[in-house]
Chains A and B, each alone.
Chain A
C-alpha cells in the first residue's frame, strides 16, 4: 500500500507546486500590469494623494492641487478659470480627454523622466512634486472665442493657431462645462452625479467640437479647390463657367440664385471673393478625382488623427471615384467632405505660412518643480500643402474676401490691417446650415490663423462666424 501513498504524497506536492507557481506568476510577474488595470480602484485612490503639478496658461495656474484637509491625505484639483479651458485642460480625476490625461504621468510625477529626481527626493527627504505643464493657449484669444460663441448662443467651436509654429492659441468648444463640480474629490458621488448630468445634456457640453466633431466645411473648402487649380497650372485670372446653377444629376445653384460674373466665365480670384459655387464645382470637375484628393491630403485630410497631444479626429475627403455629382460638390466642401475645426485652421495657417503647415501643439513646455525644463517643444513642419507662390496667390484672393468689392466676408475685416479670410455656409442635410469662417491676419505678416464654426447657425459664414474670428484675431494681434 506504500506505493500509492507515495504517489498521493507526490500529487499533493504537485498541487502545492501549482499554487506556488501561480502566486509567483501573479505577484512577481503580473503585479505591475494588474496594479494599472482599469478596474483596480487602488491606483485611483493613490493618485489622489499625489501632489499634482499645476497647468499654466498665460502665466496663471489654471489647474492646481490643494490638500483636501482634515483626515484626508488627498489633494483637490481646482480650476480657477471655470469652463474657459475645460476641453483643452480636461479634468482630474481623469474622465475625458485633455492635457490632464495626455500629460498625466508628468503631472503626477510618476513619469520615467522624473525618476532620477524622485530618487533624489527620497534621499533628501524632500516632498514629491509633480511637474508643471505650460500650455500655448493665449488667454485673451481664448476669452474672445468664448465670448463670441456664448453671445451667439449656438453650439460651435473655434481654433486659433500661430501659423509660424503651430502653437494652438485658442481652442474653445461651445457650450463648455465647469470642471470643478465633476472633480470633487471629497464628494465623489456628487462628482459622479454632476458628470452624469453632463453626459445626458442634449447640447453635449462634454464634446470637444474643435477636435472631436467633423462638419462639412462648405465654401471654406473652396480654398483647397483653388489651391489644387493653382498648383496645376491655373492662375488667379483663369476663368471658368459660372452660371446661376449647374446640373450634377441634381442641380447645384449659387447661394444667391444668380450667376457669378453677369453670366460670363468668372476668374478664380473673383470666385473665391464672392464664394461662387458653380465655377468652383466646375474647377473640381476639371481637376478630377486624383488632383482634388491629392491636394486635400496635402492639407491634412485622410491623414489620420492628430495628437495635439489631446487627440483630434481625422478629417475626411473620400475620393469621389468617378462620381461626377460627388466630385463637383466636394469642390465646394459638400458631398462627403468632413473637416474638424482644427483641420480648417490648419488650412488657413498653411496658406499664411507660405504653404507649410506646422504641427499643431498645445503643450509649450513641461517644467520640474525646480523649474528645470523636462520637455520643450520645437516647431516642426506637419506638411507642405502648396508652393510659396500658390500660397501668396491664395492669400491675395482671400484678402479680397474681406475687402473686395464683392466681399462675402467683410465682417471679418479689421481696420488698419489686411485680413485674409474665407466664409463657408454648409448644407447639413438636417436642420439649418453650419456657418464657417477661416482667416489669418495680418495678411503680410500672419500672427494668427483661425477657424470658427457655428453649428446649425442658419445664417451665413460672414454674419455668424466672421465676427468671432475677427475678435480672436484682434485679441492675438493687440498684444
Chain B
C-alpha cells in the first residue's frame, strides 16, 4: 500500500495544555464579545454575562477535560476553533435578540450547544474505533436516503422559506439532511474503499494530439455516479427545492470519488452531468430561474423590487407571483459595505436592515459589526479546521479513515463556501448554514458530530503504536 505510514509527520505529543490555553482564549473572545455588545447597546456590563459566557465557557472547558481523559492524542486545534465559532455565534444571536430580533433565540442556541457537546462527548466515548462503521455501509447508506426523504412524508414534512427540508416531530423540528450528509460520507467511504479498484479501471483514453486528456471509466461502473446524480437532481432539486443540500452532497460525492480513484475524469463527468441537468431543467424548474436571476441581476430595479417598481410596474419580474426579489441578498451586501475594513463594532451596526438576519445572513451581520478584519478571522478559523481535518486524513493509515476524514473535512469546507459564497454573491444563494455559527439545532448538532468524528480519528492516528513486547520472545498477541 503506497500510503502505508505517515504518523512520523506528527510528533507523538498530546499538546492538551495548548488546547486548554487556546480554548480559554476562545472563551475569552466570546466573553469579550458579550461585554462589548452590552456596553455598546445598553451602556452597561451585560447582566447575562455569566449566564451566557459562564455556562458556555464551562461547557467548553468540560469538553476539554473530557478529551483529556478519553481522546488525549487528538488534534489540539479543533476544539478551540469550534469553541470560538460557536461562542461568536451565540454572542451574535444574543446581540440580535438585544436588537429586537425576536427569532434570534440565543437561549435555545445555548441549550442546543450543551446538547451538542454532550453528543460530542458520547461519540468520542462510545466510538472507540471509527473503522467499525465500515462494516455496515449499505445500511448507513439506506439510512441517509431515508433521512433525506423524510421531509417528503406527508404530515411531518415542512416547507420553510420555499425549501422542503424540515420534519416536525411534534416536540421539536429537525432538518434531517444535516445528519444525512454525515451518513452519506460514511457510506461513500465504505463503498468506495471496497470498490475503488473497479472505479479506477479505465476503458478509453481521450487524447488531443499526443496529449492524454482523460481516462474514461467503463460504462458499467457509472452506476454509483448515475444513482447519486439522479438522487441529487430528481429528489433534492425537483421535489424538495433544496438546492443547497443537493450541491453539497454532489460536491462531496465528487470529492470522495476523486480521493478514492485519483481520476479526474470522474470530476469532469460529474460536473458535466450535474450542470448539464441544471441547464436542461432551467426552463422547467421555476426556482432555478428565480435563483439565477436574483444572483446575476440582483441590482436591477425590477429584481430588487423598488417601491417604484412595486407601485408602477405590475408586469415587472419581481411582481410575478413566486419570483421573489433580491432584497435580502442586496441588503446583505450593503451590510458588508457598511462594515468596511474595521467594522462598526460588536453591537454598533444596524443589522435590522438585513431580512432574516439570524439564519444564513448572520454572516452579513458579522461582516457589518466586525468588518473585513473579523470576517477574515472567522474564515481563517473555518479553513484551519478544514485543513486540520485533511491533515488527519493524511496521517491515518486505513483507507476507510482517510476517505472518512477527508470527506468530513471537505463537507465542512464546501458547506462554508456554499453559504458564504451565496451571501456574498460569488455563487447563487442556495440556503445552507455556516458550521457552528448559524442558528439551528440540527446544523449545530451535526457540526459537533462531525467534530467528534474528526477528533476521534485524529486521536487514533496520532496515538503512538503500542510498543512491541520484545521480552516475551517472538510471540505477540494480536487482537482484532
Interface positions of A (Cβ within 8 A of B): 1-9, 11-13, 15-16, 18-20, 22-24, 26-28, 30-32, 34-35, 37, 39-42, 45, 192, 196
Closest to A196 in B: B311
Give me the 4 closest cross-chain CB pairs, A-B, nearest first: A34-B337, A9-B390, A12-B413, A27-B372
Tell me the residues in window 306-348 of chain B with beta carbons closer than 8 Å to chain A beta carbons: 306-307, 311, 330, 333-334, 336-341
Contact residues in A for B413 (Cβ distance below 8 Å): 12, 15-16
Please tell me if the beta carbons of B259 and A4 are within 8 angstroms of each other in the complex. yes
A1-B3, A8-B410 known; A16+B336 contact, CB < 8 A: no
Closest to A17 in B: B383
A19-B426, A26-B333, A35-B337 known; A2+B410 contact, CB < 8 A: no
Residue from the list A7, A23, A28, A34 in contact with B334, Cβ < 8 A: A34
Contact residues in B for A30 (Cβ distance below 8 Å): 337
Check B402 for interface membership: any CB of A closer than 8 A.
Answer: yes
Please tell me if the beta carbons of A5 and B406 are within 8 angstroms of each other in the complex. yes
Selected A-B contacts with CB under 8 Å, 18 pairs: A1-B399, A1-B402, A3-B262, A5-B402, A8-B390, A12-B383, A12-B413, A12-B414, A18-B426, A19-B424, A22-B425, A23-B375, A27-B337, A34-B336, A35-B334, A41-B353, A42-B338, A42-B353
Contact residues in B for A5 (Cβ distance below 8 Å): 259, 390, 393-394, 402, 406
CA gap between A45 and B338 in the complex, in Å: 13
A1-B262, A23-B367, A37-B334 known; A12+B341 contact, CB < 8 A: no
Closest to B384 in A: A16
Kindly supply a per-residue 1/0 record for chain B positions 393-421, scoring 1 wherever the CB is within 8 Å of any chain A CB and 0 otherwise: 11000010011001001100110110011
A1-B259, A8-B258 known; A20+B379 contact, CB < 8 A: yes
Check B453 for interface membership: any CB of A closer than 8 A.
Answer: no
Closest to A30 in B: B337
CA gap between A7 and B393 in the complex, in Å: 12
CA gap between A40 and B337 in the complex, in Å: 10
Check B255 for interface membership: any CB of A closer than 8 A.
Answer: yes
Closest chain-A Cβ to B392's Cβ sits at a distance in Å of: 10
Closest chain-B Cβ to A39's Cβ sits at a distance in Å of: 6
Closest chain-B Cβ to A21's Cβ sits at a distance in Å of: 9
Closest chain-B Cβ to A28's Cβ sits at a distance in Å of: 5
Contact residues in B for A42 (Cβ distance below 8 Å): 334, 338, 350, 353
Residue from the list A7, A8, A19, A40 in contact with B417, Cβ < 8 A: A19
Residues of B within 8 A of A (CB-CB), count: 52
Contact residues in A for B386 (Cβ distance below 8 Å): 9, 12, 16
Please tell me if the beta carbons of A26 and B3 are within 8 angstroms of each other in the complex. no
Contact residues in B for A20 (Cβ distance below 8 Å): 376, 379
Closest to A20 in B: B379
Contact residues in A for B421 (Cβ distance below 8 Å): 15, 18-19, 22
Contact residues in B for A41 (Cβ distance below 8 Å): 353
Check B77 for interface membership: any CB of A closer than 8 A.
Answer: no
Instruction: Give 5 new A-B contacts, CB below 8 A, not counting A1-B259, A9-B409, A19-B424.
Output: A2-B402, A3-B262, A6-B390, A26-B333, A35-B338
Contact residues in B for A24 (Cβ distance below 8 Å): 372
Please tell me if the beta carbons of B341 and A28 are within 8 angstroms of each other in the complex. yes
Please tell me if the beta carbons of B371 and A27 are within 8 angstroms of each other in the complex. yes
Closest chain-B Cβ to A257's Cβ sits at a distance in Å of: 48
Contact residues in A for B258 (Cβ distance below 8 Å): 4, 7-8
Classify the interface of chain A: helix, strand, loop or mixed.
Answer: helix
Contact residues in B for A16 (Cβ distance below 8 Å): 379, 382-383, 386, 413, 416-417
Closest chain-A Cβ to B296's Cβ sits at a distance in Å of: 15
CA gap between A40 and B350 in the complex, in Å: 12
Tell me the residues in window 254-295 of chain B with beta carbons closer than 8 Å to chain A beta carbons: 255, 258-260, 262
CA gap between A196 and B337 in the complex, in Å: 32
Closest chain-B Cβ to A8's Cβ sits at a distance in Å of: 6
Contact residues in A for B307 (Cβ distance below 8 Å): 192
CA gap between A304 and B338 in the complex, in Å: 38
Residue from the list A13, A39, A45, A192 in contact with B306, Cβ < 8 A: A39
Please tell me if the beta carbons of A40 and B334 are within 8 angstroms of each other in the complex. yes
Contact residues in A for B334 (Cβ distance below 8 Å): 34-35, 37, 39-40, 42
Please tell me if the beta carbons of A23 and B336 are within 8 angstroms of each other in the complex. yes
Closest chain-A Cβ to B260's Cβ sits at a distance in Å of: 8
CA gap between A287 and B416 in the complex, in Å: 77
Closest chain-B Cβ to A45's Cβ sits at a distance in Å of: 8
Closest to B335 in A: A42
> Which of A5, A18, A39, A42 has its CB near the most chain B CB atoms (within 10 A)?
A5
Contact residues in A for B221 (Cβ distance below 8 Å): none
Please tell me if the beta carbons of B330 and A26 are within 8 angstroms of each other in the complex. no
Please tell me if the beta carbons of A15 and B414 are within 8 angstroms of each other in the complex. yes
Check B361 for interface membership: any CB of A closer than 8 A.
Answer: no
Closest to B412 in A: A12
Closest chain-A Cβ to B274's Cβ sits at a distance in Å of: 17
Please tell me if the beta carbons of A26 and B262 are within 8 angstroms of each other in the complex. no
Closest chain-A Cβ to B423's Cβ sits at a distance in Å of: 10
Please tell me if the beta carbons of A8 and B372 are within 8 angstroms of each other in the complex. no
Closest chain-B Cβ to A33's Cβ sits at a distance in Å of: 8
Please tell me if the beta carbons of A6 and B375 are within 8 angstroms of each other in the complex. no
Please tell me if the beta carbons of A26 and B336 are within 8 angstroms of each other in the complex. yes
Closest chain-A Cβ to B407's Cβ sits at a distance in Å of: 9
Closest to B6 in A: A2
Contact residues in B for A31 (Cβ distance below 8 Å): 336-341
Please tell me if the beta carbons of A13 and B304 are within 8 angstroms of each other in the complex. no
Contact residues in B for A39 (Cβ distance below 8 Å): 299, 304, 306, 330, 334
Contact residues in B for A6 (Cβ distance below 8 Å): 390, 394
